Amino acid sequence: MPRGFTLIELLVAVTILAVVAALGWRGLDAVARSRDDASRAFTASSRLADGMQQLGDDLRHAASQGAGLPAVSVLGGNLLIVRRPPQPLGGELRADTSANLGLPPDAGALQVVRWTVQDGALKRSASDPTDNRAALLAALQNPAAPLLTILPGVTTMQVQFYRYAGIGLLQQSGAWVNPGTAANTAAPVAAASAAALAVLNTNATTPAAVRLQLQFAGGAFAGMLQRDFLLDDAE
């Protein structure tokens, strides 16, 4: 006569299935968490790489316009770059429209780019391209363009310039120097202030390189990041 399962046998089978299901769920959960962690790390690394590439692009296109409009300067916690703006494909690199506006004949349109740390993030702004020297001076001494968050989790920024010790054959050595003001303060830039103009005049000569140091608060990144950028328009 056929014999069925007893209640105890069924309970044992259900218990075994429950244990197997729990172990399988834990394995799937671990895989999902690892995937999410890897995705976040990749996103953070890509954002960091894009930010440093953008800064490198800004510095590669930096252009000194003499006293008051240095290629790179540091004012009130801001790294300020006077650069040639990106050009559309096929556009002229140096459209000569500045003959009577106080800029050199081949200056063309320029813009002021600002890098700063605010509210725990590295941020960037860019003024509207212009060939008017007065507008560039105003943007440099009192940057007001909207800031775009480039990299979150940054607490402080420090900037140094590399300057050679001499010229010609003596230009064999140099040193990293403070550009004239602390780059990790939050003090606003006073428009046309004597201190601001003094710093701008001090940095009138384009350095050979710029060193950026970022201190991270934790999260995706921790500790300090240091990057050195060579400038094409170097002294």
Taking only the tens place, the pLDDT of each residue in 55-67 is: 999 999 999 888 7
Inform me whether the pLDDT recorded for 178 exceeds 70: yes
Predicted TM-score (pTM) of this structure: 0.71
* Nearest of 51, 43, 129 to residue 85 by alpha carbon: 129
Residue 56 domain flag: yes
Query: Does residue 3 sit within a domain?
Result: no
pLDDT digits (tens, 9 = 90+) for 132-170: 999 999 998 888 899 999 999 999 999 999 988 765 555
Token readout for 216 is 């991270």
102: in domain? yes
CB 78 within 8 A of CB 187: no
Instruction: Pull the structure tokens for residue 189.
Output: 């830039």
Determine the Cα–Cα distance for residues 233 and 112; give it in Å rounded to an integer: 16
**Is residue 29 a part of any domain in this protein?**
no
Distances (CA, A) of 111 to 20, 84, 137: 64, 6, 10
The CA distance from 120 to 43, in Å, is: 18
Query: Is 2 inside any structural domain?
Result: no
Hunting for tokens 């202030």 — which residue is that?
193
Residue 19 lies in a domain: no
Domain of 65 in residue numbering reads as 43-230
